[in-house]
Amino acid sequence: EPEVTQTPSHQVTQMGQEVILRCVPISNHLYFYWYRQILGQKVEFLVSFYNNEISEKSEIFDDQFSVERPDGSNFTLKIRSTKLEDSAMYFCASSEGDSGEKLFFGSGTQLSVL
Amino acid sequence: KNQVEQSPQSLIILEGKNCTLQCNYTVSPFSNLRWYKQDTGRGPVSLTIMTFSENTKSNGRYTATLDADTKQSSLHITASQLSDSASYICVVSAASGGSYIPTFGRGTSLIVHP
């Protein structure tokens, strides 16, 4: 079965540094998402992306966050100036459509901000 | 505010036994409800999807039910196996202005003991 792949699996950074989390969604999917899960808490929606633009974003997704699809395969999440509270598991997901269709999640990137 | 509440928070059962996980939601307007299985350190994987008109849906040893009137869903696992140990997450999608934003529950942590 096709998979969503994420790199790196773990990222450690200093507070205030910029990080870029990378994702390769499933090739024929059109909708892309970023979610995060703080340790012990529920999965939280960050942003959805379609047709090269953001379609929805949550309150968490403030000016420090940005997403980009730089080419035909990659989908990235950038955090400009990381804070301690950004430490979490970040999941990328993709889906064929947007009608509440099944999300295919990657294995996540564990971000630790020191 | 859209919310999804799951119970119990955690559950320990013996291998071979059955169990039922509960999900109550206040999501409007309702589009669909999914149950996801999340293994430790992995992304969630979709088990079942329920739409408004569906009451019961099975996927192998997993059976999901939906009562749209009381806004409750359950996930029944039959003849549990050690590999069923995971977090089970209820996700309810609302249809709003052409987009479908999912609301995640906190999950039920299931441990199956030999």
According to the model, what pLDDT value does residue B28 have?
83
**Band of the pLDDT at B100, cuts 50, 70, 90?**
low
According to the model, what pLDDT value does residue B99 have?
61
Q: Do A100 and B106 touch (CB under 8 A)?
A: no
> First and final CA of chain A: distance in angstroms?
36
According to the model, what pLDDT value does residue B67 have?
94
Written as six digits, the tokens of B13 are: 């059962």
Residue A11 pairs in a beta bridge with: A111
Any chain A CB within 8 A of the CB of B62? no
Any chain A CB within 8 A of the CB of B31? yes
Instruction: Tell me how close the Cα of A23 comes to any Cα of chain B, in angstroms.
Output: 13
According to the model, what pLDDT value does residue A70 have?
85
Identify the residue with better confidence: A102 or B13: B13
Written as six digits, the tokens of A99 are: 């009608």
What's the CA gap between A4 and B44, in Å, rounded?
12
Q: Do B44 and A106 touch (CB under 8 A)?
A: no
Q: Among residues A3, A12, A13, which one has the least CA distance to residue A92? A: A3
In this predicted model, what pLDDT tens digit does every residue of B26-85 receive, in sequence order?
A: 988 888 899 999 998 889 999 988 888 889 999 999 999 999 999 999 999 999 999 999
Q: Do B104 and A103 touch (CB under 8 A)?
A: no
Written as six digits, the tokens of A57 are: 């974003």
Q: Do B44 and A103 touch (CB under 8 A)?
A: yes
Residue of B nearest to A91 (CA): B43
> Would you write out chain A's pLDDT as a tens digit for each of its 114 residues?
789 999 999 999 999 999 999 999 999 899 999 999 998 888 999 999 998 999 889 999 999 999 999 887 899 999 999 999 999 999 999 998 776 678 899 999 999 999
Between the alpha carbon of residue B66 and those of residues A46, B63, B89, B105, the distances in Å are 27, 10, 15, 16
According to the model, what pLDDT value does residue B101 have?
74
Choose the mutation target among A21, A26, A43, A50 for the interface with B, i.e. most B CBs under 10 Å.
Answer: A43
Contact A67, A78 (CB under 8 A): yes
According to the model, what pLDDT value does residue B16 have?
97
